[in-house]
Structure 1
Amino acid sequence: MPAPTLRDVAEAAGVHAATASRALNPATRGLVNADTARRVIKVAEQLGYRPNPIARGLKTQRSGTVGLVIPDLTNPLFPPIVRGIEDVLEPAGYSGLIVNTDNDPQRERTQIELLRSRQVEGLIVATALLDHPLVEQLHREGVKMVMVNRRTEGVDVPSITPDDAAGIQMAVEHLAGLGHTRIAHLAGPVTTSTGVVRLRAFRNAVRDLDLDDDPRLVTACHEWREEAGARALRELLDGGMEFTAIVAGNDLIALGCYDVFTERGLRCPEDVSVVGFNDMPFLDKLRPPLTSVAIPHHQIGVEAARMLLESIEEPERPTRSVLLPLTMTVRGSTAPPA
């Protein structure tokens, strides 16, 4: 038995094929009388009709898809962001195609070319580096993009990022308020705007609060990973550096500190306090639960999707960037110094 067509649905619902098409497309459903739309949808379900997105795309020159470019799907930061993106895309009649780059430039280029071959209407990019030739190329070629969590220098592209500087200021003020004066910073990669902004903010906060401004207490990790955080902390300890607290570039780097505490017989927070950044899920399950600067993960995704849809619908709309305010979630990994 042949699959039912749009014309079959229209005839059974007693409407024109164009009306049936609009009723079945979430993006245009609002153009149809609500009772008519419900009738068409019910008939389509009864007949077992499934729209053909390829045919629709050929007719409208729109695919109804956007690409989500993620640097590391194992990082718990990203699933809530993706959920926020999907919560906006779905009601608008769009779906997201997710690719994971593993922070590999060649893999990123290959994956983005794959997305473009599938005619995605835009990209939400969470992999941006300060110097990012591929992003610059995509911008020159007119690809609609929104940057998430990071930005690229010299590229006029909409972005939605947490207020990293304010977040680090809160972390240092929290530790200073507990009485810490020698605070180490395990920064993120300085190839990313996130790493650079948080590092600069840490140095400024230490000076503003008149704490020990010892450059040897600052070290940059090469990756936003647990292993990188552990490696950086081992180097500080092996170098004989003395400190009573750590501000980690992100929560994964902070988890690396926990690994080293176990190795070296250090107690947290009795010997060393730690503050993470991002407040990713399940930090309250750690022992001790990790104090962290909380970013609004879901809201970042929501705003990124809205920005991209605005760019698709209004190509001439001026570029805008948004900084989202952050909060501090205090748990058991911070305490006054012994």
Structure 2
Amino acid sequence: MSRLSATIDDVARVAGVHRSTVSRALNPQTQVKLSPETTRRVQQAARKLGYVPNAVARGLRTNESMSVGVVIPDILNPIFPPIISGIDSILRPAGYTALVTDIQGGQNAYEAALASLRQRRVDGLILATAHLDDGESFHRLHEQGVRAVLVNRAAASSPFPLVHGDDTGGMRAALDHLATLGHVRIAHLHGPEGLSTTEGRRAAFDEWSRQHPEVTVTASYCGPLTAEGGQEIMDALLDASTEAQSRPTAVVTGNDLMALGALRSLRVRGLHCPEDMSIVGFNDMPFADEFSPPLTTVRVPLRQLGVESARLLVQQLHGEGSGAMELTFPVTLMVRGSTAPPRG
């Protein structure tokens, strides 16, 4: 028998079961209805014959595509692969395929990606692209019956569940660390406005500075969440404070890529980290400990964010939960070589 011609009836005959039992045994959602021995026998027969279930046909019967759209803002940003890995670790055993879409083109790319995924009849969405002003559009999606979860970024008054890290706690931990080292001139190099991660961390930065009047918040610069963006705004900070006695002795950046750019800016000018300036990142992206010097940064449990966002979505798809809720995961300050007491 040709492997390409194997059918569900062939598998049923080899396994000695009814064709409906084959369907249940090869569907992760219904395997629990069968004994482990029956499931194993059917799966062995399917492997022997090279049988692959027809997802399209099953979708026509059940009105489900068994796929989930995952929309991320920048696949080149190293924080997203761990999130995607966590998502896949839940979706795949549940029988769903993740369709990952990158929208580096901005709002137009986002709308095109969303339309494309919906045309493909994905069963739900996991969105890492939310802006604070997306609440109205999310409410429209919700009213249309779309099931979705937001991960890493929030939207104001969103009807969908949110899974993210503790931005406020992370910023406070970073600033407490710098103050303990003796820094009294600290700057904030943050990401674009309109992102919950930016606004939450900036609000925490401002609140902390009000509670610590002995520390001077010397500057706050906004730029893209990229190495190039970090280098550009660090250049602007250094241009504005050419004298060492007026220059910040430490900066907290919007993410680790911005911290990498800030390190480049220092090197170009013959300055050193942490001797001339301490730098703290955010997220603890892969290889942050391999920077030169290794980066002190706030570790966000990125893979766990993906795991929980997928778990919440699968619950919705199974009719076990819905509606707005928020899961905030604790973060950890990873102290490494990019921070030290200020010179002198």
Q: TM-score range by the shorter chain?
A: over 0.9
Q: CA deviation at 1:134?
A: 4.3
Asked if structure 2 preserves the Cα contact closer than 8 Å seen for 1:274 and 1:333, the reply is yes
Q: Aligned partners of 1:103 and 1:211: how far apart in 2?
A: 43
Partner of 1:237: 238
The alpha-carbon distance between structure 1 residues 134 and 100, as it changes in their structure 2 partners (threshold 3 A), is farther
Partner of 1:119: 121
CA deviation string 1:66-90 (max 9, x = no partner):
0100100000000011111111111
1:197 pairs with one of 200, 224, 228: 200
Q: CA deviation at 1:258?
A: 0.8
| 1:256 correspondence with 2:261 | yes
CA deviation string 1:75-121 (max 9, x = no partner):
00000111111111111111100000005111111111111111111
Instruction: Give me the identity figure in percent.
Output: 45
Consecutive unaligned residues of structure 1, counting only runs of 5 or more, are none
Asked if structure 2 preserves the Cα contact closer than 8 Å seen for 1:207 and 1:213, the reply is no
Q: Aligned partners of 2:79 and 2:324: how far apart in 1?
A: 26
Q: Aligned partners of 1:200 and 1:101: how far apart in 2?
A: 27
- What amino acid maps onto 2:193 in structure 1? V
Q: How does 1:174-253 map to 2 (within 5 A)?
A: 174-214=177-217, 216-221=218-223, 223-240=224-241, 242-253=247-258
RMSD: 1.4
Asked if structure 2 preserves the Cα contact closer than 8 Å seen for 1:125 and 1:147, the reply is yes
Q: CA deviation at 1:36?
A: 0.8
Partner of 1:272: 277
Match of 2:5, SS?
Answer: coil
Paired residues, number: 336
- What amino acid maps onto 1:106 in structure 2? N
Q: CA deviation at 1:209?
A: 2.6
Q: How does 1:145-156 map to 2 (within 5 A)?
A: 145-156=148-159
Match of 1:177, SS?
Answer: helix
Asked if structure 1 preserves the Cα contact closer than 8 Å seen for 2:183 and 2:250, the reply is yes
Q: Aligned partners of 2:300 and 2:91: how far apart in 1?
A: 21
- What amino acid maps onto 2:228 in structure 1? E
Q: CA deviation at 1:136?
A: 4.1
Q: Aligned partners of 1:316 and 1:84: how far apart in 2?
A: 20
| 1:294 correspondence with 2:299 | yes
2:331 pairs with one of 302, 326, 335: 326
- What amino acid maps onto 1:71 in structure 2? P
Asked if structure 1 preserves the Cα contact closer than 8 Å seen for 2:163 and 2:309, the reply is yes
Partner of 1:160: 163
CA deviation string 1:111-152 (max 9, x = no partner):
111111111110000000111264343233221110010011
